Amino acid sequence: MVDTSFTHIAHSTQTIQQRYLHVITWGCQMNVYDSNRMVDLLRPLGYKVTDEAEKADVLILNTCHIRDKATEKVFSELGRLRQIKEYREDQGNPTLIAVAGCVAQAEGEIILKRAPYVDIVFGPQTYHRLPKMILDVARKSGNVIETDFPTESKFDFLPAPDESQGYTAFLTIQEGCDKFCSFCVVPYTRGAEESRPVQAIVDEATHLCSLGVKEISLLGQNVNAYHGQGPDGNIWDLVKLAEKLSTIPGLLRIRYTTSHPNDMSDSLIAAHRDLPTLMPFLHLPVQSGSDRILKSMNRGHTVSEYYAIIEKLKKARPDIALSSDFIIGHPGETNEDFKATMKLVQDITFAQAFSFKYSPRPGTSAAVSMNQIAEPEKDARLQELQAVLKDQQTQFNKDTVGRKIPILFTHKGRKEGQIAGKSPYLQAVHAQGNDSLIGQECMVEIDECLTFSLSGSLVKESTSH
Ligand code: 5AD
Ligand code: SF4
């Protein structure tokens, strides 16, 4: 779970009939993956994606419950979708509203009670049943709710994507979590930790690469705890899986997110040195730099253990770009604890990081703590932390100026004649170059560090084989 911005996804597809689907996706990359899979599931039913909600016969709101006023945001967005539905139905166009994702899982019936105009509510583990749910609503004109954790795996029912994804793609390899950090809803909304079998992942990755994908981000709430059934009957870890994926023709880059410090094995650290496809970037949330708070968060590791992992990583791959998540104002966090977090940040230095004010999640242990921190205190601490993290990010980017770096070009730049893509360190880079280089990895000398991106010049047309 990395991206916290709201993402409105517009998928473009080809279909057999004129029925339209509009998907709004909030939250993490796994939700983006799930929304794409929902589109794949509905394509055979004749649904074409539109980015105009007013045009859609089916409106799906894929929700996130991780922070903030998640539930209230959902009801406010549903109010907007209701108006669209009513307007369309006045014109004689039946319209269906579906609420998916973690808020759907957590709130279930409450959504249907407060917003009876919603037709379908389904959680992250049941969306493979979406075509049937839509048919059921159409036939019975009643609401459908599917928020159980079924024994069958949704992955066994998802069709392969049948259209180009661009040059980068997400691939969920593991889902759920058994760690129960004090602040987190994930174990309740996504369920128990489960890894997909190796062959299913290899097949999906091979298919993506046959569509032109060059970079795959492996997703999981605890992705580095991956332990899937291998084709040889043994359990494979993330390293073995990544090594196997590296043999797929056309696949140049592998990333993975999100990792937990306790599952950062020595072999995974070594893979950052030995496996050229594994990008020198690691998102490894630490949440706090205070042992006292880490303990009350139930994180299961200490600050010095985190330092030790980082030291090993930097030894294995000196240029590795580090990323993390921080929670500010967890119940019981004193000024001393916060200073310890600031010290950790100063000591390690991050290429990028996400930091959040603690927000109580219903059903989690921290939410009922009597030691909640006042909002103004959280605000002040967050501001102080974010200022340092921003400076570190800028410094990291400035340090790449003058270096020659392979850039995977994925799209046209904003200005005429520009192409744009990502560095191995996940920085946005653009350069003057021919469109024919889009989809290739090329050597670029970084010339300048701008506010949101780097600009560079092509030095060699391609590193791709
Ligand atoms: N309050 C604030 N931040 C949270 N996160 C998870 N739960 C909460 C919460 N209740 C943050 C953590 C996690 C990231 C995805 O979201 O930092 O790593
Ligand atoms: Fe949530 Fe902790 Fe599990 Fe991450 S490891 S998903 S923060 S409970």
CA distances from 408 to 52, 279, 340, 420, 425 (A): 31, 12, 38, 8, 11
Side chain identity, residue 325: D
Q: Class of the 404-458 domain?
A: mainly beta
| Per-residue pLDDT at 141 | 66
* The pLDDT of residue 464 is above 60: no
Report residue 18's pLDDT band, with 50, 70 and 90 as the boundaries: confident
* The pLDDT of residue 35 is above 80: yes
| Residue to substitute in 105, 183, 186 for testing ligand 2 pocket (most ligand atoms within 8 angstroms of CB) | 186
The CA distance from 436 to 452, in Å, is 25
Query: Which residue owns the Cα nearest ligand 2 atom 5?
Result: 179
- Three-state DSSP class for 453? coil
Query: Which residue owns the Cα nearest ligand 2 atom 2?
Result: 181
Q: Where in the chain is the domain with CATH 3.30.750.210?
A: 160-279
Q: What percent of the chain has pLDDT over 90?
A: 86
Count of other CB atoms within 10 angstroms of residue 462? 13
Find out whether the beta carbon of 257 lies less than 6 Å from any atom of ligand 2.
Answer: no
Question: Which of ligand 2's atoms lies nearest the C-alpha of 221?
Answer: 6
The CA distance from 217 to 101, in Å, is 20
Report residue 364's pLDDT band, with 50, 70 and 90 as the boundaries: very high
Token pair recorded at residue 408: 């995977």
CA distances from 409 to 163, 389, 401 (A): 20, 27, 18
Report residue 145's pLDDT band, with 50, 70 and 90 as the boundaries: confident
What's the average model confidence in pLDDT over 136-153? 83
Q: Where in the chain is the domain with CATH 3.40.50.12160?
A: 5-146
Pick the range with the lowest mean pLDDT from 17-31, 129-143, 241-255, 274-288.
129-143
* The pLDDT of residue 11 is above 50: no
pLDDT digits (tens, 9 = 90+) for 238-268: 999 999 999 999 999 999 999 999 999 999 9
Q: Per residue in 57-69, is it b (16+ CB within 10 Å) or e — as a string?
A: bbbbbbbbbbbee
* The pLDDT of residue 16 is above 70: no
| Per-residue pLDDT at 158 | 85
**Annotated binding residues for [4Fe-4S] cluster:** 28, 64, 102, 177, 181, 184
Report residue 465's pLDDT band, with 50, 70 and 90 as the boundaries: very low
Mean pLDDT for all residues in the chain:
93
Question: Which of ligand 1's atoms lies nearest the C-alpha of 287?
Answer: 17
| Per-residue pLDDT at 437 | 97
| Per-residue pLDDT at 460 | 63
| Per-residue pLDDT at 144 | 86
* The pLDDT of residue 315 is above 90: yes
Measure the N-to-C terminal CA separation of the chain; round to a whole number of Å.
Answer: 32
Annotate the chain with three-state secondary structure.
CCCCCEEECCCCCCCCCCEEEEEEEECCHHHHHHHHHHHHHHHHHCEEECCCHHHCCEEEEEECCCCCCHHHHHHHHHHHHHHHHHHHHHCCCCCEEEEEHHHHHHHCHHHHHHCCCCCEEECCCCHHHHHHHHHHHHHHCCCEEECCCCCCCHHHHCCCCCCCCCCEEEEECEECCCCCCCCCCHHHHCCCCEECCHHHHHHHHHHHHHCCCCEEEEECCCHHHCEEECCCCCEEEHHHHHHHHCCCCCCCEEEEECCCHHHCCHHHHHHHHHCCCECCEEECCCECCCHHHHHHCCCCCCHHHHHHHHHHHHHHCCCCEEEEEEEECCCCCCHHHHHHHHHHHHHHCCCEEEEEECCCCCCCCHHHCCCCCCHHHHHHHHHHHHHHHHHHHHHHHHCCCCCEEEEEEEEECCCCCEEEEECCCCCEEEEECCHHHCCCEEEEEEEEECCCCEEEEEEECCCCC
Yes or no: say if 193 and 178 are a contact pair by the CB < 8 Å rule: yes
Q: Between 462 and 94, whose confidence is greater? A: 94
- Any idea which residue has 């332990």 for tokens? 227
Rounded to 5°, the CA angle 369-374-380 comes to 130
Report residue 8's pLDDT band, with 50, 70 and 90 as the boundaries: very low
* The pLDDT of residue 13 is above 60: no
| Per-residue pLDDT at 276 | 97
| Per-residue pLDDT at 139 | 82
* The pLDDT of residue 387 is above 50: yes
CATH number 3.40.50.12160 given to 5-146: yes
Count of other CB atoms within 10 angstroms of residue 222? 20
The CA distance from 41 to 35, in Å, is 10
| Per-residue pLDDT at 329 | 98
Report residue 288's pLDDT band, with 50, 70 and 90 as the boundaries: very high
Q: Where in the chain is the domain with CATH 2.40.50.140?
A: 404-458
Pick the range with the lowest mean pLDDT from 5-14, 66-75, 212-221.
5-14
Beta strands at 194-195 and 418-422: parallel, antiparallel or unpaired: unpaired
* The pLDDT of residue 140 is above 90: no
| Per-residue pLDDT at 160 | 75
Four-way CATH pick for 160-279: 3.30.830.10, 3.40.50.970, 1.10.150.120, 3.30.750.210: 3.30.750.210
Q: What percent of the chain has pLDDT over 70?
A: 94
Strand-pairing partners, residue 217, are: 170, 255
Token pair recorded at residue 56: 């859609």
**Annotated binding residues:** 28, 64, 102, 177, 181, 184
Token pair recorded at residue 227: 């332990």
Question: Which of ligand 2's atoms lies nearest the C-alpha of 287?
Answer: 7
Find out whether the beta carbon of 184 lies less than 6 Å from any atom of ligand 1.
Answer: yes
pLDDT digits (tens, 9 = 90+) for 149-160: 887 888 888 887
The CA distance from 182 to 159, in Å, is 36
Report residue 73's pLDDT band, with 50, 70 and 90 as the boundaries: very high
What's the average model confidence in pLDDT over 141-166? 80
